Amino acid sequence: MREIEKKLSDEELLKYIKNVTDERPTYGYKRVTAVLRKSIRVNHKRVYRVMKENNLLLQKFGKRPTRTHDGKVETIASNVRWCSDSFKIQCWNGDKLEVAFSLDCHDREAISWVVSSKGISGELVRDLMTETFETRFKNRPNYKVQWLSDNGSGYTARETVFFGRSLGLEICTTAPYSPESNGMAEAFVKTFKRDYVYVNDLSSAERVLAQLPSWFKDYNENAPHKALGMLSPREYLKLNRAS
């Protein structure tokens, strides 16, 4: 027998809704309501209101990512959420490069990266997704990993969104001008530029390309991080895998 709607508070209804959206991230409020009605008595207008208040409504289907992320970026375990962003490097001779990377939101490892002199396209983002997934998993996990980014065109392209979903990623974007933005990726950019880009040879794109692999390797293996007890990302990963 279905549960009577009036007995459910908004908080209780939200738990039911999240159970559905976690399992079915492409469902809008109408389909969420249909699933809920199999076990509880609920009005679609109320479902819409609760989902809207908690930023669970879908963005435009087929073009935009699944739903906006505006909560805490950090996670309590690795491979739950990966964040991604890009940054530009201006060389002394006028050359320009743009680097996109993926970062684990728990252990802070820069899992993978791509670079281009023509900007970060959707194709490069898809390459980044593939390399990140293959670096962290031998087989597809039985859960979806969130992929968090800003609203850059390379990330929100239709082909990129569909490709990410086919890998088993839940595609999320940060709300524009939100204080709960992709702050972890932004902090990484500041750290990486400060500790590597600004203090090394930027004479040409060729010179920077030769150095990039060692910069990322050093960050992952040697850069201490306060949130990791002053361990580097790979020191932290090694310690936790051994325990």
Distance CA 155, CA 123 (A): 9
The sheet carrying 145-149 orders its strands as: 67-69, 169-174, 145-149, 81-90, 96-104, 110-116
Over 50: is that where the pLDDT of 61 sits? no
Residue type, 142: N
Over 70: is that where the pLDDT of 215 sits? yes
150-160 confidence digits (pLDDT tens): 888 999 999 99
Distance CA 228, CA 106 (A): 9
Compute CA distances 237 → 84, 89, 240, whole Å: 19, 29, 5
In the chain, where are the structural domains located? 5-58, 81-242
Closest CA to 108 of 7, 8, 185, 28: 185
Closest CA to 29 of 165, 39, 16, 143: 16
Quote the Cα angle for 222-135-191, to 5°: 35
pLDDT at 174: 75
Over 60: is that where the pLDDT of 69 sits? no
Distance CA 130, CA 143 (A): 17
Least confident piece of the model among 44-58, 126-140, 171-185? 171-185
Average pLDDT over residues 102-117: 97
pLDDT at 63: 47
Candidates 3.30.1650.10, 3.30.1490.100, 3.30.420.10, 3.40.50.150; CATH matching 81-242: 3.30.420.10
Distance CA 165, CA 65 (A): 9
Closest CA to 129 of 92, 154, 107: 154
Do 105 and 184 meet the contact criterion of CB atoms below 8 Å apart?
A: yes
Least confident piece of the model among 4-18, 37-51, 113-127, 169-183? 169-183
